[in-house]
Structure 1
Amino acid sequence: MLNQSCPLWRVPGLEPDQAFGQALRNLRTRRKWSQTDLALRADVDRNYISLVELGKNSPSIRMMFKLCDALDTNPSALIADVERRIQLQLAPPKRKLPAMLTS
């Protein structure tokens, strides 16, 4: 659930475009597809896929649905992964306990 008092896109850290690109790349590589494979399935240019994955380009809603259709996933699942990636960047790092305290 999003914190309404502190929108994720206003907090320093992972930008939404970068998080989207990481999530898209994760879906693509889990299928062992190249950028060209995804581009052909989504009927877009391979360079466009590269720019989105790098966080340099933001897809429109229509394009996001097209990419999700090509990847056989729901846009809501992709956006949930984007939110999770942003939240992970905002969470304080977990500290390791000394070995004598974990025994």
Structure 2
Amino acid sequence: MELENLFGDLLKQARLKAGMTQETLAFQAELDRTYISLLETGKRQPTLMTLFALSKALELRPSDIIKEIEKKVGYY
């Protein structure tokens, strides 16, 4: 699986676990809802600033998101 798809899947799972809609996440992260959709579908890749904004809104550490992706890719 491509990295952008792994990130998108992880983002969607985290968003749903937090009980948020795409619109709520976008508002809290100060991003556009359509951009959240593009991230979740793997059509866009986040910048470092975006990763931090999403992490804050989801109450996660950016490093935890990266670690989860590393696990799925097979990096340890």
Structure 1 position 85, deviation (Å) = 2.4
TM-score (norm 1): 0.69
Name the % identity: 36
5+ residue gaps, structure 1, are: 1-13, 88-103
Please identify the structure whose Cα radius of gyration is greater: 1
Task: Name which of 39, 47, 64 aligns with 2:51.
Answer: 64
Give the alignment of 1:6-45 within 5 angstroms.
14-45=1-32
5+ residue gaps, structure 2, are: none
Counterparts of 1:50 and 1:56, CA distance in 2:
9
Counterparts of 1:53 and 1:23, CA distance in 2:
8
Task: Tell me the number of residue pairs that the alignment of Structure 1 and Structure 2 aligns.
Answer: 74
Counterparts of 1:85 and 1:22, CA distance in 2:
11
More helix per residue: 2
**What RMSD over aligned residues (CA atoms) do the two structures have, in Å?**
0.9
TM-score (norm 2): 0.92
